[in-house]
Structure 1
């Protein structure tokens, strides 16, 4: 042999980084040169050791998923979606604890009114329950309210899909807690479920307006309109507030359907809104 493969080339060969045509020359030469094979054996072990340490460092530095994220991963949710859901502010214990506290107080007030005054409907509970999902969705998306917003906007997810993922997660949590609170009001029968359609209508309307007004102003206006509607209905002096009557439930269903259609039509606005916020 009049020439041998350079040691740096042998090291690149061991790492799989040697490019043609040097790779082809090294393959042919190593088949016939015992000296270069011995040098390759000497450099191969350190290379494998370095690669092993790199893999160990990467494993040690990798973030450990918490209980909620681990549960989502076990259910087959994609890892980036699970991370986005785990980082949603309103799915944390502080928010959920506040929601539970509000619901407990409203259910207690409904029981007190029912026993002490013979009330015909849990007015306070019905008034507050539709606002909780609306507030939860508002707090789950937007640069002013979400501390993980920068992470979410660079996720490989369409802006509208990201909004829907977090909205569904918040609705499952919020409506689930509302449903449990409803079970604590068995004396009112189906009247205790009168919050469901208004909640869907308020949430859908808030989302549809978010594309134009932003994640703070839109739900604030919708929530304010709901409070104003309840106050106006209370001034009428009827036993059952209009939004919780049969006609009011029909209007809520129609508003939810219309707002859902409008939300679908303006879905592309969320990408522009997302980009401008960044």
Structure 2
């Protein structure tokens, strides 16, 4: 061989101070060069050399962060938090594309079939999207990191909030953008906001008791049933979108948020349970 690792680089290699890409070159060269391996043995402590190989193995085994994870870390998010967020199913492009498609079709249908002073179809659907996003972001059904979450030392409430806040923010932003596509309705097109917060907060408050699947499903079903009843008994604006209905939605949102916070300790996952056992204190996934 015409090139060998310099002695200073070998000493830095032993101390774990050899930087990339020289570290990679030295590793490749040492595999094939007996002379450099012999010189490495002369300048190194066997224990330190073993530790160096272990550090190298650990570095090579670390999975490379994806685009979303890298973007979050560049924005200042801690690496472990960024990984949890990047693994959230509803923050992936497929889910976001589906939500955008649903909103676009709903806006088009609302504009083409205008039967009242308020966009009833859009207002009925928009509050369900944040609830669905939160429901699908945490639990054994679609969360690829759920089994790891069960046995991790992280507080269950903190893990849920790490997932919930970004998902809720993205859903509200998408709903807001869709609202801008309905300028003819004015502020009436924003009547979805308080019901959306009320549904999401209620679903989260019921999760420790009913689990991350049944709780939002029950809340969403109740919302649909309420709209059906309101449509059958009202000849004008549906009850949830009147001033009184908006006030009730705000009160429900505040009450549910308070109960959700007071019950935060019930979101701790029990490592003794199976990965699909759900939450402690009676909640079942």
Length-normalised TM-score, structure 1: 0.79
Gaps of 5+ in 1: 1-13, 16-38
Task: For residue 153 of structure 1, report the CA deviation from its aligned partner.
Answer: 3.0
Distance, in Å, in 2 between the alignment partners of 1:175 and 1:274 is 34
CA contact (8 A) 1:84 1:152 kept: no
Which has the larger Rg? 1
Distance, in Å, in 2 between the alignment partners of 1:156 and 1:167 is 19
For residues 140-179 of structure 1, the C-alpha deviation after alignment (integer angstroms, 9 at most, x for no partner) is: 1112332220123344421011111111011011111111
**Greater shift after overlay, 39-48 or 133-142?**
39-48
- 1:194 pairs with 2:178: no
Distance, in Å, in 2 between the alignment partners of 1:274 and 1:266 is 19
Residue in 2 aligned with 1:61?
A: 61
Length-normalised TM-score, structure 2: 0.77
Task: For residue 71 of structure 1, report the CA deviation from its aligned partner.
Answer: 1.5
CA contact (8 A) 1:242 1:248 kept: yes
For residues 43-79 of structure 1, the C-alpha deviation after alignment (integer angstroms, 9 at most, x for no partner) is: 5187776655544443332211112111111121111
Residue in 2 aligned with 1:44?
A: 44
Residue in 2 aligned with 1:112?
A: 112
Gaps of 5+ in 2: 1-13, 16-38, 276-285
Distance, in Å, in 2 between the alignment partners of 1:45 and 1:277 is 45
Which one of the candidate residues 262, 267, 271 is aligned to 2:264? 267
CA contact (8 A) 1:208 1:259 kept: yes
Residue in 1 aligned with 2:36?
A: none
Distance, in Å, in 2 between the alignment partners of 1:102 and 1:274 is 38
Count of residue correspondences: 240
Q: State the Cα RMSD in Å.
A: 2.5
CA contact (8 A) 2:73 2:79 kept: yes
CA contact (8 A) 2:203 2:216 kept: yes
Residue in 1 aligned with 2:254?
A: 257
Greater helix share, structure number: 1
For residues 164-220 of structure 1, the C-alpha deviation after alignment (integer angstroms, 9 at most, x for no partner) is: 111101101111111111111111111111000000000000000010000111111
Distance, in Å, in 2 between the alignment partners of 1:271 and 1:95 is 27
CA contact (8 A) 2:129 2:171 kept: yes
Distance, in Å, in 1 between the alignment partners of 2:67 and 2:268 is 31
CA distance change for structure 1 residues 270 and 251 in 2, over 3 Å: closer, same or farther?
same
- 1:80 pairs with 2:95: no
Distance, in Å, in 1 between the alignment partners of 2:41 and 2:89 is 53
